[in-house]
Amino acid sequence: MSSEANKAHKERLKKNSILVLTILLVLLIISILFSLSYGKSITHVMKSLFVDSGIDPVVRKVRLPRTLMAFFVGGSLGICGVVLQSILRNPLAEPYTLGLSGGATFGVALSATIGLERYLSLYANPLMGFMGAMASVMIIYLLTRKKFFHPNSMILFGIVVSLVFSSFVFFLFSILDPDKMQITLMWLMGDLSSLDIKLIPAYIPMFLIPAIIMLFFGRELDILSLGSEKAQYLGVNPPRMYRILFLLSSIVTGLCVSASGIIGFVGLIVPHILRNIIGAGHSSLLFASYLGGAFFLIASDVISRYILYPVELPVGVVTAMLGGFTLLIVIVRRT
């Protein structure tokens, strides 16, 4: 009887997964159309994209690149959230748990302080943000390697490293020019409009390749969730797998930060909610979280443009408000 009940439960989760993936795909398409139109008709947008780009060049040169970046950043944060929540065994973990935001913030603040844009132009902030995030990753990697990448050690070292970098950021802010500080603060709040469109073709493969690789680790994540002893028995080397997944998710998160600043709650709330709906099977959860993260960020970006029109809010402010209220509701309903 228990075997039949287990089989029925798996079938129900499979049907839920298909239904959820379909709904997410439809919502994603709708959000993309809203993002591209922004005051224009859908027909107008389609003509501008596929018939004559001269009808409205803003669609191709401004809205399409911005929507693409929202898609890749949101999807990447969603899938990184799944991976980190799994390897850290903490449903409230997110891509910035391991201190990447602190390192990236320090990199951008340092770039603004020394005026690196004079030498690197539009590459200055994205490059320094990524390098700062990677510096944080390498410090945590070296520290946790001695602890065999134990999840508790990774979280603890991530918090400490983030605090250390934050102290350096506050020091730089105290000596930074007010105009440059304003630009840096906008970047810190998450801003999809600040990235130069010339960089987008280079970013697309950098986002896609590691994200696609992570999609194939669903089975390994399922096994790791059983515990280290059972994982070794089933042929998975936990420290080695933790190392690979940690580095992959960290690199992708660093790319997200360098492209759009720090956009919180996408990698936290999307996997958390979807796990409760479709179960903990990581093969479906990884793909669903990519679609859900992309939809959530694109929809938040649309809201950020409409809520105080014609003034645009940083998209990170909207994701924090929506994600914070949603998480609060989820926690209250559980208690």
As a whole number of angstroms, the distance between CA 204 and CA 231 comes to 34
How far is CA 240 from each of CA 54, 137, 230, 243, rounded to the nearest angstrom? 52, 16, 15, 5
Please tell me whether residue 13 adopts helix, strand or coil conformation: helix
What's the pLDDT score for residue 109?
Answer: 83
Structure-token match 């999807």, residue found = 75
What's the pLDDT score for residue 258?
Answer: 85
Please check whether residue 192 is in contact with residue 65, taking contact to mean a CB–CB distance below 8 angstroms. Answer: no
The model's pTM is: 0.90
As a whole number of angstroms, the distance between CA 304 and CA 140 comes to 34
**Number of domains the chain is built from:** 1
What's the pLDDT score for residue 22?
Answer: 93
Tens-digit pLDDT profile for residues 232-272: 887 888 888 888 898 898 889 888 988 888 898 899 999 98
**CATH number of domain containing 92:** 1.10.3470.10
Tens-digit pLDDT profile for residues 310-331: 778 889 889 999 988 888 888 8
What's the pLDDT score for residue 1?
Answer: 45
Q: Which residues of the chain have pLDDT under 70?
A: 1-10, 13, 51-55, 148, 335
Range of the domain at 162: 2-334
